[in-house]
Amino acid sequence: MLSIFWSYIKKHPYIYGITTLFALLSSALAVVPNYLIQQFIDSMVNQNLTNENLFFYLGIFLAAIVLIYLVDITWVVLLFSQSYRYQNSLRSQLYRRLLQLRTPFYERFRSGDLMTRMTSDIEFLGDTIGYGFMLIVSNITWALSILIIMILTISWKVTLLSVLPLLFFAWFVFKLWKKVDVLYEANRDAVATLSNEVLEVVDGVRVMRAYGKKELEQQQFKKRTSQVLEKANQLVLYNGAVGPIAKLFTGLSMALGLVYSAYLIGQGQMTVGELISFQIYLGMLSGSIWGLSDIVLVYQQGNVSFRKVEEILEADDLVETSGNQPLTGIESISFQDYSFQYPTSDTPTIEKINLEIKQGETLGIVGPTGSGKTTLIRQLLRQYPVNPTGGLAINDQPIQQYHIADLEKLIGYVPQEHILFSKNVAYNIRFGKTQATEQEIHDVVAFADFTKDLNRMTRGLDTLIGEKGVSISGGQKQRIAIARGLIREPELLILDDSLSAVDAKTEQVIIQNIQDIRQGQTTIIITHRLSAVAKAHKVIVMDQGKIAEYGTPEALLAQKGWYYEQHLKQQLEENQHENI
């Protein structure tokens, strides 16, 4: 952590150079008022204080105080402004990293933990390079300045005797470092766990109400908060011990200084002004030593937070690095004896897949739940590492050779989980094409058969849909997501069970519109409803990770296998629904 901070400081030499210089100047100026007090008291005791001396001391004293204020406010503002810039830079870096990481990473890290790393951990790092730097520079320079002035103007013997208890205090604080580190990390992890619980409660509140689990969830949440409280109390216990111990040692330091100073005054080796000045110096020195003890907490918090942030920055999502070959179009997609196994699984999810998709074709993928349909198309999205055995190629070249960003630009993906943002309808659709015109938005709204729904909304495209689309129906969510995919005008459109929440009639309208506007472009439709792929160029039936049936819809019906049986079953269900 210190090497990273030092690298950042070296990148901004002027800011930190001015900060350090002004801190040194402030420390030097801080002894001036005290020295003037010493001279003033000695003049009073010696009865040689004149009006001229009095106004001279007063003028210098006021000037020093004003100058100290101006110097302090300058370097503190510069330091903390740079601290916030550091937080902003680190937060942007971490956010870019999160956007680059893929599915295997997010399977290991929960949302609440990531939020903690993006917020409080970065803030603690900012405090370390800001407040921590201030503590080190100001307190060390202040302590050195005071020690030097005490030795030179008062007595080196009294100074040495008084400083000894403070050295023991520094040793005691040092011994606390490791324990505080362990306790802080435990407290921080407890807070992250609580954040995960809060997110789950917010997402599942309607389910909890429906199942009458509010009281149970409340008890569990109370248990989690109690755990956080317990961890926090343990940390506070150790942090709180520093204050009383500091008072003990500083009190001892002052007592020793007073006793020995009184002895020196009796011997005529110290004046009353020097005694009073010495006590003020000693109080200032004790304050700087006490301030240095804060570095223990700041450093440990920063160190733990640094480990958490660095874990994200250096995380491996197990996906191969992006290739360098550009990709401007998708003419063909081919799987050759391709198998895939999730990192957390012991058996392949898809196995021995042989499939070719040519430009302009519509491929339907059907099959039982858990048969590997979504896993198959996730290989095209590069969400997981490509299996080195077997082949997955685009335009007869291995998919790993292409630049991932180029591949992503050519794909429009509408997932099972319709991810919508807590903005308005237009924002969610325009997310697929930032510069889309309002006319283009209305066109894709019509293609997604969403026009009537939009007209019923009070503010039309400006209607807010709530967090994750909470204020609209499931079918409306799906059609907004489809419109977002269509406005992208992708070379490859993937609909992953994206029509499950709409009725059969609406589904047919959307499918027909897609076929009309996507002539010559490739479309993959994953569905449980066979009517959605009735006009596809070819259909594969997945079963237990393998292609069980393959051909045109008509050929699959003639085979009288799973596809044929499901076709008859769904037709019967539709006829029964129409007769009701």
For the cut 70, the answer to whether the pLDDT of residue 61 exceeds it is yes
With a pLDDT cut of 90, the percent of the chain lying above it is: 21
Residue 381 in contact with residue 319, Cβ under 8 Å? no
Full set of structural domains in the chain with CATH: 2-313 (1.20.1560.10), 322-410+496-501+530-580 (3.40.50.300)
In this predicted model, which residue has the larger pLDDT, 479 or 196?
479
The mean predicted confidence, pLDDT, of the chain is 82
| Token code pair at residue 409 | 């630009």
Contact partners, residue 295, CB within 8 Å, separation at least 6: 132, 135, 136
Angle between helices 272-313 and 214-266 (to 10 degrees): 150
State the pLDDT at residue 457: 86
Instruction: Indicate the SS3 state at residue 509.
Output: helix
Query: Edge-to-edge, what's the strand order for the sheet holding 397-398?
Result: 350-358, 332-340, 391-394, 397-398
For the cut 70, the answer to whether the pLDDT of residue 475 exceeds it is yes
Distance CA 234, CA 155 (A): 43
If DSSP states are collapsed to H, E and C, what string results for 301-359?
A: HHHHHHHHHHHHHCCCCCCCCCCCECCCCCCEEEEEEEEECCCCCCCCCEEEEEEEEEC
Q: What are the backbone dihedrals phi and psi of residue 524, each rounded to the nearest 5 degrees, phi first?
A: -120, 125
CA–CA distances in Å: residue 139 to residues 28, 142, 286, 289? 12, 5, 10, 7
Q: pLDDT tens digit string along 122-131?
A: 888 888 888 7
> In residues, how long is the chain?
580
CA–CA distances in Å: residue 309 to residues 15, 303, 328? 25, 10, 36
- Residue 182 exposed, middle or buried by CB count within 10 Å (0-12, 13-18, 19+): middle
Q: Given CA atoms 225, 231, 233, 236 in this order, what sign does their dihedral have?
A: negative
Q: What's the chain's Rg over C-alpha atoms?
A: 36
Q: What are the backbone dihedrals phi and psi of residue 539, each rounded to the nearest 5 degrees, phi first?
A: -135, 140
State the pLDDT at residue 245: 75
| Average pLDDT value for residue range 277-300 | 72
In sequence order, what DSSP letters do the residues of 27-81 get, joined into one string?
HHHHHHHHHHHHHHHHHHHTT---HHHHHHHHHHHHHHHHHHHHHHHHHHHHHHH
Q: pLDDT tens digit string along 533-554?
A: 998 999 999 999 999 999 999 9
In this predicted model, which residue has the larger pLDDT, 63 or 344?
63
| Token code pair at residue 443 | 């066109």
Closest CA to 292 of 177, 371, 404: 177
Q: pLDDT tens digit string along 351-385?
A: 999 999 999 999 999 999 889 999 999 889 888 88
Q: pLDDT tens digit string along 69-117?
A: 898 888 888 888 888 888 898 899 888 888 888 877 877 887 778 888 8
For the cut 90, the answer to whether the pLDDT of residue 335 exceeds it is yes
Q: Which amino acid is at 211?
A: Y
For the cut 60, the answer to whether the pLDDT of residue 579 exceeds it is no
pTM of the predicted protein model: 0.71
pLDDT-derived band at 580, boundaries 50, 70, 90 = low
pLDDT-derived band at 212, boundaries 50, 70, 90 = low
